[in-house]
Amino acid sequence: MNASAAPGGDPGSLPAEVRVVNVGLSLFADAVRAQGAAAVDVDWRIPAGGRTELVAALARLYGPLAERVDAANREVLRRLDTGAPALVGVATAAAVVPGMGGRTVLHCGPPLAWDDFCDPLRRSARATVMAEGWAATAAEADRLIAAGGVELEPANHHATVVPMATTLGPSAPVLVVDNPPGGNRAFAPINQGPGLTAWFGADAPAAVERLVWLRDAAAPVLAAALAGAGEVELFPIAAQGLQMGDDLHMRTQAATNLLLRHLLPDLVAVEDPALGEVARFLSGNHLFFLNLAMAAAKAVTDWAASVPDASVVVAMARNGTTFGIRLAGDAGWSAAPAPPVGRALYYPGFGPDSSAPDIGDSAVLELVGLGGPAAAASPAVAAFLGGTVADAVATTEAMDRICLGRSSRFKLPLLDYRGTPVGVDVRRVVELELTPSINTGILHASEGTGQVGAGIAEAPVACFQQALLGLDARLAPGG
C-alpha cells in the first residue's frame, strides 16, 4: 500500500489524499474504491501456489542456478528459432524410422501399458495391426496386442510425432523431414483425412482400408511428386499460413493450399493410376499440412532437446490417458492424467460426456510458436476461445507470459507483426500456475465414431511441477 500524505501535512496525522496499489486479492482495493479513492490492482499470486518445495526449487533456479539455466535456455531458443525443417520425401517407416523393426507400433504421447490405453487409441492400434496384416479382425488384433505380440512404443522416442489417436506400423508411409542446421531428421505419418479413420479412434473396416490405401496408393504418388518438387521448406509455408488465418494446429487450411499450389506442377506430372484418387483425397483434406507442421516442430524440438541444463519444454504429448512433457537435456517424461478438452465446440448430439480426454502428439506445435501461441492469427480459431478476436489475442498473450522469447519468423498481423511466443519455461509455468493452451480436436470416448468436436486443452500443471523438481534435483543435487 502506498499512502501519500498531502504536501505539508502533519506526518503524524492521517493523509488527506490516499492512492492505493493493491497486490493480490482485490477485496482491499474494492473497499478503497467504495470510499471514493483511487486503487490500482496488481494481479499477484503466491508463487507456485505456495508449495514449499516448489518455491525452494524456484528460488534456486531463479537464483544461484539462473546463470547456468539461462545460458542453456538461450541455446534452446536459438535452435527453436533457427531450425529449418524441410520435407524431403515419403518413405516406409521400417526403412527410415530408427528402431522400427519387427512388430513395432508407435503411438502418441508418453509411454503407456496396453491396459491403460483409452478406447480411441486402443481402436487405432487394432486398426494398425489389421492394416499390417498381423490380424484379420479387431478382436484378433486385440488378443495379439494383449498377449504381448506387438511392441508398443511412444512415437516421440523414434524421432516421430503422430496426431490425435494415430498409431503407426512398420509398413506405413511416413513424411521425412530434415533439419540441416541440427543434422537431424523427424517423421510423421500422412494425415489420414476426414471421416471414419484410425487417427480419430475408429477401427471399423473403412478405417483399416484408409490405412492400406494411404500405404499402397497415396504414398507412391506423393513420393513421386516430392521427388519432382525437391525439398520443401516447411516453416516459411507455416509463416505464410499465419498471415492467412491459420493457427497451424486446429486450422491448417491456408498452409495446405499453399503447399498444394507449390506441388501442383509435380503432381500433374505423376504417372500413376492412383493419381486421380490421391488428388481427390488431397483436395478434400485441409488438415494435410498438420502432420507436416508437426514433423517440422519435432525436428526442431529434438535438436533443442540435446542442450543440457535448460528449463525449456521440448516435448509435450498426450496418449489420452496421460499428459507428459520433457525438458531439454532430460530424456525422462514428467506426466499427469490427461485433461479434458475444455472451451469446446461439439458436433450436434455430442458433448463433454461422450468425449475422450486430450490426445495426440500435436502439442509439439505449441512449443515452436504455432497453435495456441498463434491463436491471435486465426479468427476462425477465435470461435473456440470465446468468440472474438480479443479472446484469441488473450490466448497468445497468456502464452507470452510463460515463454522466454518470440519467434523471428512466425508473425501476428493483428499484433503489429509481433512474433508468436516461443520457449515454454517450466519455471514461469510453475511460478504463475499458468500452463500452455493447446488447440485440438476431440474424439468420442468409447464408440469409435471419430471426431466429435474441437476445443482448447489446458496442460495440467502437475507435470510441469514434477519437471521443475527434477531439473532442480539434477542441477542442485544437494539443494
Nearest approach, Cβ of residue 454 and a second copy (Å): 17
The answer to whether residue 283 forms part of the interface with a second copy (CB under 8 A) is yes
First to last CA, the chain: 35
The answer to whether residue 256 forms part of the interface with a second copy (CB under 8 A) is yes
The answer to whether residue 261 forms part of the interface with a second copy (CB under 8 A) is yes
Which of 55, 59, 96, 244 forms a contact with a second copy (CB under 8 A)?
244
Which of 76, 131, 135, 258 forms a contact with a second copy (CB under 8 A)?
258
The answer to whether residue 389 forms part of the interface with a second copy (CB under 8 A) is yes
Which of 269, 331, 345, 473 forms a contact with a second copy (CB under 8 A)?
269
Q: What are phi and psi of 290, to 5 degrees?
A: -50, -50
Nearer to a second copy, 212 or 380 (CB): 380
- 118 with 358: CB under 8 angstroms? no
The Cα 125–Cα 201 span in angstroms is 9
Nearer to a second copy, 136 or 269 (CB): 269
392-431 positions binding a second copy, by CB under 8 A: 413-414, 416
The answer to whether residue 257 forms part of the interface with a second copy (CB under 8 A) is yes
The answer to whether residue 267 forms part of the interface with a second copy (CB under 8 A) is yes
Surface-to-core class of residue 13, CB atoms within 10 Å of its CB (0-12 exposed, 13-18 middle, 19+ buried): exposed
Torsion of CA 219, 185, 232, 422, to 10 degrees: 120
The Cα 164–Cα 197 span in angstroms is 11
Nearer to a second copy, 184 or 420 (CB): 420
Nearer to a second copy, 149 or 379 (CB): 379
Cα-based distances in Å from 173 to 135, 260, 266: 19, 19, 19
Strand-pair partners of 418: 412
Nearest approach, Cβ of residue 264 and a second copy (Å): 4
368-387 positions binding a second copy, by CB under 8 A: 379-380, 382
Angle at 260 between CA 255 and CA 265, to 5 degrees: 150
- Per the rule left: phi > 0, alpha: psi between -120 and 50, beta: everything else, 122 is alpha
Nearer to a second copy, 263 or 463 (CB): 263
Which of 276, 332, 337, 351 forms a contact with a second copy (CB under 8 A)?
276
Cα-based distances in Å from 3 to 17, 35, 40, 43, 136: 8, 15, 12, 19, 78
The answer to whether residue 265 forms part of the interface with a second copy (CB under 8 A) is yes
Give the neighbor-by-neighbor strand order of the sheet with 151-154.
151-154, 104-107, 167-168
Which of 279, 461, 469, 476 forms a contact with a second copy (CB under 8 A)?
279
Of the candidates 417, 394, 393, 391, the one whose C-alpha atom is nearest the C-alpha of residue 406 is 417
- Helical ranges in 193-352 per DSSP H: 205-213, 219-229, 234-243, 253-268, 275-283, 288-305
The answer to whether residue 227 forms part of the interface with a second copy (CB under 8 A) is no
The Cα 157–Cα 227 span in angstroms is 28
Nearest approach, Cβ of residue 277 and a second copy (Å): 9
Nearer to a second copy, 49 or 230 (CB): 230
In the numeric block, the cell 499402397 is attached to 216
Nearer to a second copy, 143 or 262 (CB): 262
Nearest approach, Cβ of residue 104 and a second copy (Å): 35
The answer to whether residue 253 forms part of the interface with a second copy (CB under 8 A) is yes
The answer to whether residue 236 forms part of the interface with a second copy (CB under 8 A) is no
In the numeric block, the cell 508411409 is attached to 173
Which of 4, 26, 137, 388 forms a contact with a second copy (CB under 8 A)?
388
Cell of 5: 500524505
Nearest approach, Cβ of residue 374 and a second copy (Å): 14
Counting residues that bind a second copy (by CB under 8 A) gives 31
Beta strands 342-346 and 334-337, pairing class: unpaired
Nearer to a second copy, 314 or 377 (CB): 377
The answer to whether residue 231 forms part of the interface with a second copy (CB under 8 A) is no
The Cα 32–Cα 351 span in angstroms is 44
Which of 260, 432, 462, 469 forms a contact with a second copy (CB under 8 A)?
260
Cα-based distances in Å from 11 to 16, 18, 104, 414, 425: 11, 14, 78, 50, 46
Residue 347: alpha-carbon gap to chain centroid? 23
Nearest approach, Cβ of residue 411 and a second copy (Å): 10
Cα-based distances in Å from 393 to 92, 103, 423: 41, 45, 18
Which of 31, 42, 233, 280 forms a contact with a second copy (CB under 8 A)?
280
The answer to whether residue 282 forms part of the interface with a second copy (CB under 8 A) is yes
89-108 positions binding a second copy, by CB under 8 A: none
The answer to whether residue 64 forms part of the interface with a second copy (CB under 8 A) is no
The answer to whether residue 268 forms part of the interface with a second copy (CB under 8 A) is yes
Nearest approach, Cβ of residue 91 and a second copy (Å): 23
Contact set with a second copy (CB under 8 A): 243-245, 253-254, 256-258, 260-262, 264-265, 267-270, 275-276, 279-280, 282-283, 379-380, 382, 388-389, 413-414, 416
